[in-house]
Amino acid sequence: MAVRSLDLRGTPCPVNFIRCRLALESMQSGECLDVQLDRGEPEEMVIPGLRDEGHQVETTNVQPSWVGLTVICGG
């Protein structure tokens, strides 16, 4: 199964959340989406927002200026 990836570093809120949602809408339940996201507000807004929509979100890579996430589509 191909893992999709979104590099949203430098993308402002709420555009980064909307782009994650659009990608997940085209995916099947259980598929994975790798996301790179700026630290701070994007991290604080996108992670809880995706979890609220029923997706599993795991932090996989933490850097000083960005964070890597694996999002498992909740369907």
Q: Under the phi-then-psi rule, with left for phi > 0, alpha for psi from -120 to 50, and beta for the rest, what region is 30?
A: left
13-62 residue pLDDT tens: 999 999 999 999 999 999 999 999 999 999 999 999 999 999 999 999 99
**Domain boundaries, given as residue ranges, for the chain:** 4-72
DSSP letters of 8-20? Answer: -TTPPTTHHHHHH
User: Class assignment of domain 4-72?
Assistant: alpha beta
Looking at residue 6, what is its pLDDT? 98
